[in-house]
Amino acid sequence: MARAKGNYEDLVRLAVTELRVQTTVLSITLFPTQGFSSTTYSVELGDQTSIVVQVRPSDRPLALSNLDVARSTFGSLVPLGSFLTSNEDQDLLLYSMSQIPGRSLDSYLHEAATIPVIASSLGTILAKAIVPDTEVSELISSLGGEGSPRTRRS
């Protein structure tokens, strides 16, 4: 199976209910933007929290270690992820992730005014991924980024 595309709401409800026996599932909403091989839902719980549940084919597991590494670098900008359950009948894997507040990057890409801001922010994030924190501000300033004399506004 190359893709997990379909309506998995009942499967998600069952998996979350079994995992979180102390709360109820209030709603399950399909995210408007989906990945290539997965189906992703926002799940609102009775304890006033929400989680993300991703359904993936078993031959395309989520690399949870990548989330851990990214989270160690970018902190709360990266969700906490964990394996939820598998469904052998449909050859599927389900993962639970913390929900990060805000809008998805995809929703901003259609607004021309946001492209320069996204490019600058992405550059800063990439710089932090490969340059030690102590050198990031110097690098950004030298390239005319945040806080440099060339970009400060009076």
Domain residues of the chain, as ranges? Answer: 9-98, 105-142
pLDDT at site 146 = 57
Average pLDDT (15-25) is: 84
Specify the pTM. 0.70
Q: Residue 83: enclosing H or E segment and its boundaries?
A: strand 81-87
Q: What is the reported pLDDT for 68? A: 92
pLDDT band at residue 142 under the 50/70/90 scheme: confident
25-31 mean pLDDT: 94
| Contact (CB, 8 A) for 12 and 24 | no
Percent share of the chain, pLDDT over 90: 40
CA distances from 111 to 76, 114, 117, 118 (A): 25, 6, 11, 11
DSSP-derived letter for residue 58 is T
How is domain 9-98 classified at the architecture level of CATH?
2-Layer Sandwich (3.30)
Pairing mode of beta strands 92-98, 50-57: antiparallel
List all residues 6 or more positions away from 49 whose beta carbon is below 8 Å from its beta carbon.
23
Q: Select the more confidently predicted residue: 130 or 67.
A: 67
Q: Measured between alpha carbons, how far is residue 72 from residues 63, 80, 83, 132, 142 in Å?
A: 15, 11, 19, 13, 26
